[in-house]
């Protein structure tokens, strides 16, 4: 009788066969992406997508150990090095990769494994920012740099010594008493500011290339790719032109035959490397237990966008080098170190369409409609594309697979296309010749990147202008939002800002509408009218009346004059005192106001020359809107200037008052108001949804206060002044260089 295999065995064989097929598929994908990232410096997928592939591969290999092979990407580092432009060098000690932890529980599991292996519970840890750059090994002999090599596949790397010598942060000769021959490892990176300036320079060159009908240069997608590409230049002189920096994070090996010993701990080693003149990793810290480490990682996660360099996580190391040796290595990763990975800020998805919306000034603003993708903690379906020049510089086309980035609270943006995934027939996108809202022609103004709708009556321009006028930055008319404005325009109740103040006279007509009226409930009520005025309408009319006294700075902001935001509105109001005086001022006089300048002055003067705008201003005055600057009785003579000598920046949304009102109140107390955060800023006052200015204040370590502090300061300005006058001497001390600083104190 023939033997029959059991169903359980058949299922097991089938599962193993499926696992084997999936492993081969994943290995091929991971190898491909390793080459794109480590060799070509042109990744096709985001770090998060790569991590997902790698974790799936590792998970299958852990379930089926018999499928693990020596050439699997889980057992190797980086990508195999080919001898092309650069000579290939052997690393005396392999340059390893790091395991990843994506949350506190995974970090605790890593610590538990280390504790079990060492049979001990307590460790000292060191945390360091995981700077996103290119790993480099430097070898010094008798204090002189003799070799610099990329990590490569961990065993062999590229000899890039001539290029690394061109990086100012890398010393050619060391100070102190270094070992006769030793190796340090670090990350070559490009600071954000340098990266943005470099891309801006390329973009400027591209404008000239496009004008000449030539193909533009590709912009760099991120600082990491830019740094890696700069290091691998054939001509070291090109490398020297790139804004590169380096941070040394590890002693690789040391020949101690001459008796010059190195420290026993990693923390002390970082300080020792700094004493030798090497640029040790900035902002490292030492911790007594893992909960301190977790708290530090969470702090880094919150402030990652405020740092001057890109980082994708935090590296955690056991401090004691003897314990590091006891823990050893498994596969391609040391057991004594791990990387806490940040939530992803980039993802890849398909750009379905490049659409256009119309702004309040008539500007045509292209944006990307995307296949929904999860990035930065939210699902993203739309992303900004800025203007036509930006689209052409990045060479973004409909149908492309694109990299989308969302950092912090910033609007998602398309970083660039994945050219290897471009569909056949994808064409270069052009701005439509007709406005997508009204169908009227569009034009590109001289010396500007934007296209504009030429139709002043375009419904979209009217709608956006009214939204801006009624919004929080302007006249702050509660209840008058996007939907209601659209209904009022459709019902022909409003066509400009002055019409808003005629709405109270139309109370009965508005009450008879479906969008502001109350629907009749009884038969008797319906016999009188289907709809009539209700509480919502009453609240709206009350808010409109209250907005009349918002003040001149709020009115100027709400009018939407190009380049005139809250800060400039406050400066103009303070200088001229009334809307009439501003509109009658000569352009030269406007430009002479501190903080205004030629471009803003030209814009204000052009707005004032338009008869329709002059008529609008007159109608607003007739409607009872305050168009003069209201100064408090007694003025500065009575109040004094208790905040004199202090400089504040206000950002975000305030609840109790508008930003122009807050700025005016502080100025009356003698404070100076600035639009940018610098080392001379006394404090940043941050309201809700504060953005880049908050990050800049954190980066410069300037004091940050909230709206409740502002209200208290306006009530008791002398107490607020005393707080900062006492603190100023300490704040004014010279700051250490962020990239070259000696290690800070322990946590």
Instruction: Write out the catalytic residue numbers.
Output: 130
- Cα dihedral sign, 240-242-245-251: negative
* Spatial separation of the C-alpha atoms in residues 387 and 14, rounded to whole Å: 54
> Per the structure block, which two tokens stand in for 437?
């809202």
> Rounded CA gap, 187 and 310, in Å?
12
Check if the beta carbon of residue 230 is closer than 8 Å to that of residue 162. no
Specify which residues 705 forms β-bridges with: 685
- Centre a 10 Å sphere on the Cβ of residue 418 and count the other Cβ atoms it contains: 17
Element (H, E) at 684: strand 683-686
Q: Under a CB-based contact definition with an 8 Å cutoff, are residues 439 and 447 in contact?
A: no
Query: CA 560 to CA 246: how far, in whole Å?
Result: 45
Q: What are the start-end ranges of the H helices in 35-66?
A: 47-63
* Rounded CA separation 394/548 (Å): 46
Identify the CA nearest to 392 among candidates 200, 219, 195, 194: 219
Half-sphere exposure of 97 (CA within 13 A, CB side): 17
Q: Which helix (H) or strand (E) holds 346?
A: strand 346-358
On the CB side of 369, CA atoms within 13 Å amount to 7
Strands (DSSP E) contained in 16-92 are 88-90
Q: What is the DSSP track for 414-452? A: EEEE-GGGPPTT-------SB-TTT--BEEE-TT-S-EE
Cα gap 329→94, rounded to integer Å = 11
């Amino acid at each position: 009788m023939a033997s029959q295999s059991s169903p359980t065995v058949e299922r097991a064989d089938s599962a193993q066969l499926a696992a084997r097929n999936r492993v081969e598929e994943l290995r091929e994908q991971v190898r491909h992406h390793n080459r794109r990232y480590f060799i070509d410096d042109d990744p096709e997928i985001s770090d998060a997508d790569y991590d997902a592939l790698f974790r799936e591969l590792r998970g299958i290999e852990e379930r089926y150990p018999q499928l693990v092979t020596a050439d699997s990407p889980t057992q190797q580092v980086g990508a195999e090095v080919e001898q092309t432009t650069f000579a290939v060098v052997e690393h005396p000690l392999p340059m390893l990769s790091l395991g990843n932890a994506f949350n506190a529980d995974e970090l605790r599991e890593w610590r538990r494994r280390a504790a079990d292996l060492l049979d001990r519970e307590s460790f000292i840890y060191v945390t360091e920012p995981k700077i996103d750059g290119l790993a480099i090994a430097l070898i010094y002999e008798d204090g002189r740099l003799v070799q610099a090599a990329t990590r490569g596949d961990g065993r062999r790397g590229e000899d890039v010594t001539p290029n690394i010598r061109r990086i100012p942060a890398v010393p050619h000769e060391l100070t102190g008493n270094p070992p006769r021959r030793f190796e340090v490892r670090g990350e070559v990176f490009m600071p954000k500011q340098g990266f943005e300036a470099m891309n801006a320079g390329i973009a400027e060159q591209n404008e000239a290339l496009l004008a000449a009908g030539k193909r533009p240069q590709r912009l760099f997608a991120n600082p990491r790719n830019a740094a890696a590409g700069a290091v691998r230049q054939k001509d070291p002189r090109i490398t020297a032109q790139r804004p590169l920096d380096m941070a040394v994070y590890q002693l690789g090996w040391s020949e101690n035959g001459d008796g010059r010993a190195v420290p026993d701990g990693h923390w002390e080693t970082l300080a020792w490397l700094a004493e030798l003149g090497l640029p040790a990793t900035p902002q490292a810290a030492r911790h007594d237990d893992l909960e301190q480490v977790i708290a530090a990682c969470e702090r880094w996660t919150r402030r990652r966008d405020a740092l001057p360099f890109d980082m994708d996580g935090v590296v955690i190391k056991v401090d004691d080098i003897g314990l590091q040796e006891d823990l050893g290595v498994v596969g391609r990763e040391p057991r004594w170190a791990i990387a806490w990975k940040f939530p992803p800020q980039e993802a890849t998805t398909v750009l379905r369409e490049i659409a256009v919306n119309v702004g309040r000034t008539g500007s045509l603003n292209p944006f990307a409609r995307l296949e929904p993708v999860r990035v930065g903690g939210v699902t993203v379906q739309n992303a900004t594309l800025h203007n036509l020049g930006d689209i052409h510089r990045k060479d973004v086309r409909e149908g492309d697979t694109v990299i989308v980035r969302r950092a912090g609270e910033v609007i998602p943006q398309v970083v660039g296309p994945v050219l290897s995934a471009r569909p056949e027939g994808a064409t270069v996108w052009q701005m439509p010749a007709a406005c997508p809202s009204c169908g009227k022609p569009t034009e590109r103004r001289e010396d500007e990147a934007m296209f504009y709708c030429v139709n002043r009556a375009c419904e979209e321009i009217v709608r956006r202008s009214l939204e801006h006028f009624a919004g929080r930055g302007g006249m702050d008319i509660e209840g008058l939002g996007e939907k209601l404005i659209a209904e009022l325009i459709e019902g022909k109740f409003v066509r400009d800002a002055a019409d808003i103040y005629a709405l109270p006279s139309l109370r009965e007509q508005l009450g008879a509408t479906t969008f502001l009226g109350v629907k009749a409930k009884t038969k008797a009520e319906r016999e009188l009218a289907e709809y009539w005025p209700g509480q919502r309408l009453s609240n709206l009319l009350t808010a409109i009346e209250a907005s009349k006294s918002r003040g001149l700075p709020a009115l100027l902001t709400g009018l939407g004059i190009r380049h005139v935001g809250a800060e400039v509105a406050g400066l103009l109001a303070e200088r001229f005192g009334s809307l009439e005086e501003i509109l009658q001022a000569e352009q030269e006089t406007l430009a002479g106001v501190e903080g205004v300048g030629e471009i803003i002055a030209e814009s204000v003067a052009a707005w004032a020359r338009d008869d329709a705008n002059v008529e609008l201003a007159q109608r607003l005055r007739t409607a009872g809107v305050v168009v003069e600057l209201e100064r408090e009785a007694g003025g500065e003579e009575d109040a004094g200037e208790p905040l004199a000598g202090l400089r504040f920046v206000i950002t975000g949304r305030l609840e109790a008052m508008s930003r122009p009102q807050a700025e005016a109140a502080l100025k009356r107390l003698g404070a100076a108001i600035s639009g940018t955060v610098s080392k001379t800023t006394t404090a940043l006052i941050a309201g809700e949804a504060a953005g880049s200015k908050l990050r800049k204040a954190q980066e410069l370590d300037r004091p940050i206060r909230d709206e409740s502090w502002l209200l208290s300061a306006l009530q008791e300005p002398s107490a607020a002044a005393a707080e900062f006058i006492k603190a100023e001497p300490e704040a004014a001390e010279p700051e250490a260089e962020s990239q070259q600083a000696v290690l800070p104190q322990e946590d």
